[in-house]
Amino acid sequence: MGRTSSLPKRLQPMLATLTDDPFDDPAWVFEDKYDGFRMIAEIRDGRAALYSRNGKLISRSYTEVAAALEMVKGDAVIDGELVAIGKDGVSHFQLLQNALRHEAKLLYFAFDLMFANGEDLRKRPLLERKERLKTILPRHGLIGFSRHRKGKGRKFFAEAERDGLEGIMAKRIDGAYASGSRTPDWLKIKTAKRQEVVIVGFTAPRRTRPFFGALVLAVREKESWRYIGHVGTGFSHQTLAELHSRLTRLQVAKSPFPAKVKDETVTTWVRPFLVAEVKFAEWTTKGELRQPVYLGLRSDKQAKDVVREQERLRSM
């Protein structure tokens, strides 16, 4: 499934397909699935430009990472993930929020090489691209190479579960790089269910909690907004305050839904603009999230691109 981006087609990242179970296969390699956000690095004439997945130029927000990538050997376009490492040594998506940056160490994990010194590598096999990538990366504390293991996906997934990681990536060894496309050659296998959501409203404060009670969530479906539930847990006091400040500037008069949803009488509706991520137990038969927990905002995603993520069986 393609997606729109302000990035030129050649710079748009390849997207992975969600699948259900880990597997063993000698034709595949397995990598960590990092709990951060996608970042494309374009290095040209010793200067690095950093782009989010939706094409936003973010070099000024991560000047230290850009400076480190300027040490790459030659011109290149690199695909990777920016993560924030907490005091426990594990990456945490929440720590990428601006207010929490001081509590974490930033690290850019590079995992693919699209171009090198003007040469288009996207049709080359994955492992060849990764070998080329490894040779051009600088030795720097902010830059990491995403290592992989061949064939043994089940064991790797069990280790990810044990260590509290988000999941693993499975990639076909001989696969090409499909810019801007979601293909079955890259699969993501998560240890917990997660979903990107669009915030379309918030309810009045409850009991001793200030600012708001819960967020009203939606995804895009057939050119309209589909209600998928409320989330009322996972917020710190600081997060409540910052979210409320941003949401009050997006207020609108009407609900985006064709039918009524719960707590409408105490709901303030907002323009569908802010994208967040939640973890949850399961989807209900009504298509709503069961036991969602707020994780943080996704500045690298656009509201119009947020749909319910569907698991697909792996093709052999």
Q: Is 301 in the active site?
A: no
Between the alpha carbon of residue 245 and those of residues 86, 125, 198, 212, 316, the distances in Å are: 26, 47, 17, 11, 49
Render each residue's pLDDT in the chain as its tens digit; 316 residues: 334 444 566 789 999 999 988 999 999 999 999 889 999 999 999 999 999 988 889 999 899 999 999 999 999 999 999 999 888 777 778 788 764 566 778 999 999 999 999 899 999 999 999 999 999 999 999 999 999 999 999 999 999 988 878 899 999 999 999 999 999 999 999 888 889 999 999 999 988 889 999 999 999 998 999 999 999 999 999 999 999 999 999 999 999 999 999 999 999 999 999 999 999 988 898 999 999 999 999 988 899 999 998 766 565 5
For the chain, give every residue range classified as CATH 2.40.50.140: 194-305
3-state secondary structure of 223: coil
End-to-end CA distance of the chain: 20
Q: What architecture does CATH give domain 194-305?
A: Beta Barrel (2.40)
CB distance 308 to 292 below 8 Å? no
* Given 9, 33, 123, 188, the catalytic residue: 33
259: CB partners within 8 A, 6+ apart: 227
CATH of 19-191, one of 3.30.465.10, 1.10.3720.10, 3.30.470.30, 3.40.50.720: 3.30.470.30
Three-state SS for 260?
coil
Q: What is the DSSP pairing of strand 275-280 with strand 167-172?
A: unpaired
Which part of the chain has CATH 3.30.470.30? Answer: 19-191
